[in-house]
Structures are given as C-alpha cells and as structure tokens.
Structure 1
Amino acid sequence: MPEHPYLDWPGPIPFAHRGGNRVAPENTMAAFEHAASLGFCYLETDVHRSADGVLVAFHDENLLRTCGLDANIADLAWTQIADLRVGGTEPIPRMLDLFERFPEHRFNIDCKADAALEPLVELINAQGALDRVCIGSFSFKRLQTIRRRLGPGSLTCLSPIETICLLVFGRLPGTAQRAAQVPPGHGRITLVSRRFVRNARRAGIAVHVWTINDAAEIRRLLDLDVDGVMTDDVELLRSVYAERGVWASNT
C-alpha cells in the first residue's frame, strides 16, 4: 500500500500539540497562528460537538478547566460557546475556522465524542481534506466507524488495543492505513523503543510520539528514528529539530 499523502514529509514530522500553549492558550486560533508562524505545517487538535451540531476545536468535554464554566460543550449551543474565552482571552474556534484559515496545513484531529464523529466526517468530505488529516481516538469502535465512513483513503491512528498488538506481535491485522500515535511509555512499561519502531517499520506504520516538552527526550526519540514528535512547546521542538538538522517547514 502506498504511503498516505499526509505522511509525505522530508524527515520526522513536527506536530504543534493543540497548537502549543506557551504563547497562547491551547486549541485557540492564536496558538495555531503562532505555530504556523514558526513554520509548523502539522497542527494537532481535538473536536467536540455543540448541542446544535457545531464542531469545535476543544480538548475537554467540560469547560471548567480552560474557560471557568462548569458546563459541557455538548449541552451548549454554538452561540453560547462563542461568547466564552479560553484562559479569559481567546475564543474557542470551530473546526471549520481552522480548515479555512489554514488551507495548506495538515491536521491531526482527535475525535473526542461519538456525537462529533458524523459532523467530522461531513466536514472533511466538504473540505476535500482527506489527504491532509489523520484522525485519532482512544475508542476502537469510533475509529472503525471513521475508517468505514471515510473509506480506504483515510488515515487514522492506532487504537490502544492495536498499539498493544503491534508492541507484542509486531504486526497488525487489516489493511486500513494507520499511524501509531503513542506516549513514550505507560506506567512502568516503555512503549517507544527500538523494537517498537522496528516492528512499526515492518508493518508500514509511522510512529508519532506525544506529548514531549523536554529537549533530552526529543533527542532520544530522534535517535530512535521515530517519524514525528508532538509538543506543547513549539519553540523548543523547532530548536531541537534545527540542532539535529531535521527541521523542515511549510514556509
């Protein structure tokens, strides 16, 4: 199977996790604008669906942590959500806003709720964005539905059970195009090792590691030849990539 267009990048992919959060609050247009200004082409975000069907770029189910309102996105209309401010300063963007603002960028989108699945599929199709998105979820059922609805041209991340299969058996069943988007480890278990990267290579699966905000760990992962690193600290990641001679940008 040929490599998905999303993965066509000259070196390890630098991902701006939620756009970064050092200069502006996470998952806001200001954060994504900052990452793009540094040359990041890959923007990671999350989606939830409002009560009236609007897809918003937001990580938490609840608004308390970032907006100070103890309410769920799924229970509010878009007009109510639009009045809120992340960190007291920045509005919550719609996913449509991000697609329109960054037509040449690639999006890593974590589908956080079943209710967001159908609007996300419809938006990707309406935008003709299948070649520039990778869809993630911790739900295997949700990923299976996304793969079925978007078809063989889609790219999704591995579910936790698929990641375990790759780790233990070194292979995966099925023909769907997938990427392993994983943390370095879980508890006492080291996940991203030379063996894991080697298994992924043999299975034709890219390895993207999240969420790394430490220079030494970024260097360790690059030494393992991973295919991408996600970070909240976009300046740090760009600096380490440049130091190693692997920084490439969309500008």
Structure 2
Amino acid sequence: MQSQPRVGTAPFLRNTAGCPLEGFPLAFSHRGFAPDGEENTVKAFAAAHRLGFKYLETDVHASKDGVLMVYHDDDLLRLAGDRRKVSDCTWAELSELRVAGEAIPTFDQLLETFGDSHFNVDVKEPGAARLLANAINRHGARDRVLVAAFNGLRRRKFQQLLAASAPGSPIAASPGVLGVGAATLLGRIVPLPGALYRNVDALQVPEKQGAVRVVSPKFIDHAHSAGLQVHVWVINEAAQMHRLLDMGVDGIMSDRADVLAGVMDERGYWPQSGGSGTDHA
C-alpha cells in the first residue's frame, strides 16, 4: 500500500510532512466510542483512547454560568431526559444529570484527562466561542484543537477571539456549511480558490449530502491543490472506509471506533501515537 501525501501546515495535523504521522490518514473517534449510548462522556473517550485513538471529535455548549460543557444537542432531552436547554442550566445543575449513567464533562476536563489527545471541536452555539478560546489559552492547547462549526460566522468569531489574545498563533479550522457547500460545487469541476479557504486547513464533509456526492477523486485533488485536507464523516462500515482511503481522503470520523481502528491497523496506519510513516510506530 502506498502512503499518500498529506497537505496542510497546522500543528494539529500531525500527518503532514516531517510530522510523527506523516503519510497517515487520520482516524477520529466521533463523540468517543459509545456502544451503550454514553456519547461525549469521559467513559466514551477513554474507550476510544484505549483502542488507540488520539484524535477525538466532540461538541461544546456554554452553560448558563459560563462553563464550557461537552454535549451535542441544544437541549438535554434525548440524552439526559431533561427538557431544558444546556444554556438554561448552571454547571452545578448539569453536573447532576447523567448520559447513560455518565456525567456530562467540561471541556477543561477532557483537555486534562487526555493530555496526549487532539480534539476536533464543533462549537454548537455563539456563547461557546469565547469560552473555547479561553480554555485553549489556559491549557496551552492550540496545537491540540481543530475548531469546526456548521455556522461559519461562529467559527470566524472564535478565530478572531483567539487571534486577539495571541496574534500570529493560528489554530486549525474547517469551514461551515456555506464553505463546504461552495467546495462541493466547485471541487467537482475546478481547483478550489485558495483565497476563499485561507483561514481553514481541512474540509470536513459527508461522503454524500442527500443525492449529491461530495467526495470524489477530483474533489480530493482540488482540495489538496488548495492546501486542504479532506476528512469524511460519519463512516461506520469497513467497506466504505476502505473505499474512501483508496480514494485518498486524509481522515475518517466514525461512531464505530472499533471498526475504524481495525481498518487502519489492516492498512498499516495503527496505532497513531507517533513514530514515522515508515515504521508506523
């Protein structure tokens, strides 16, 4: 199997030239490994970590009293059985709730508990942007975080906040819905304009959006020409993972961390703790 070149320069992307995972496609555990429904909990991330994952995808909200909480939905009903929104609850109130028997963690807790891990963070609402910037600065974690948001304005607000606190120290990012949509339309026919994507490092996309195919060899080539990696979500079947890796994607996110780890191991890309692209250590 031939290693494929990885583009991008952000420290978060440890699979670029001269980095410990050079030539590897990255494996992301989506909300941790949660077969019993305990998504986005310390237990779920610990399970993924034990499987060898050092790239963990997660989501953040702001509590009513300004604590950055790790949680996906706007409201607490689906996972915690509470009809309130995350933003309507204080940290103390949220700490009493349980997701499949597990506590809802703070983002600071994740950074501290998994000190060797990288976090792909979806900023779920505007109030979380400043809290995330503060947490990253507090922990010196700029090289460990990629920020994403379906709302591109929210992602740009975060980048502005972080730039104001430490000019010249950018952080990895992926575009929102409009940026991905433009890349989907343009990337099928022409190289992507680098100026349009100068503040992002990866296109994080579904393989298909409805009936529209997003990821194709031409799309990947055009993204690479613009200096962007292509990470695909959420892929849970081994055959689909193999097909995308053969196509040349730079990363895969999956709810089935066990399946993705097996595929990566089969292809010589595991573990992803360090080493080089030659010894795969």
The aligned counterpart of 1:144 is 156
Shift of 1:188: 0.7
The aligned counterpart of 1:3 is 9
- Deviations along 1:47-78, whole A, 9 cap, x unmatched? 00100001000000110000111110100111
Listed as ranges, the matches of 1:194-205 within 5 Å are 194-205=217-228
- The DSSP-based 3-state class of the residue aligned with 1:6 is coil
Identify the range of structure 1 (75-84 vs 137-146) with the bigger mean alpha-carbon deviation. 137-146
Question: Aligned pair 1:16/2:37, yes or no?
Answer: no
Could you tell me how far apart the structure 1 residues matched to 2:118 and 2:97 are? 27
Q: Match for 2:99 among 86, 89, 100?
A: 86
- The DSSP-based 3-state class of the residue aligned with 1:177 is coil
Could you tell me how far apart the structure 2 residues matched to 1:144 and 1:84 are? 32
The aligned counterpart of 2:234 is 211
The aligned counterpart of 1:249 is 272
The aligned counterpart of 1:176 is 199
Listed as ranges, the matches of 1:179-194 within 5 Å are 179-194=202-217
Could you tell me how far apart the structure 2 residues matched to 1:96 and 1:219 are? 35
The aligned counterpart of 2:65 is 52
The aligned counterpart of 1:230 is 253
The aligned counterpart of 1:239 is 262
Aligned length: 250
Listed as ranges, the matches of 1:9-158 within 5 Å are 9=15, 10=21, 11-22=24-35, 25-87=38-100, 89-151=101-163, 153-158=170-175
Shift of 1:21: 1.7
Matched residues, percent identical?
A: 38
- The DSSP-based 3-state class of the residue aligned with 2:12 is helix
The aligned counterpart of 2:179 is 162
Identify the range of structure 1 (120-129 vs 140-149) with the bigger mean alpha-carbon deviation. 140-149
Does the aligned pair in 1 maintain the 2:175–2:200 contact within 8 Å? no
Could you tell me how far apart the structure 2 residues matched to 1:95 and 1:40 are? 18
RMSD after superposition: 1.5
Does the aligned pair in 2 maintain the 1:194–1:224 contact within 8 Å? yes
AA aligned to 2:172 is L
> Where does structure 2 lack aligned partners over 5 or more consecutive residues?
1-6, 16-20, 164-168, 275-281
Length-normalised TM-score, structure 1: 0.95
- The DSSP-based 3-state class of the residue aligned with 2:129 is helix
- The DSSP-based 3-state class of the residue aligned with 1:7 is coil
Shift of 1:5: 0.9
Does the aligned pair in 2 maintain the 1:48–1:58 contact within 8 Å? yes
Could you tell me how far apart the structure 2 residues matched to 1:58 and 1:164 are? 25
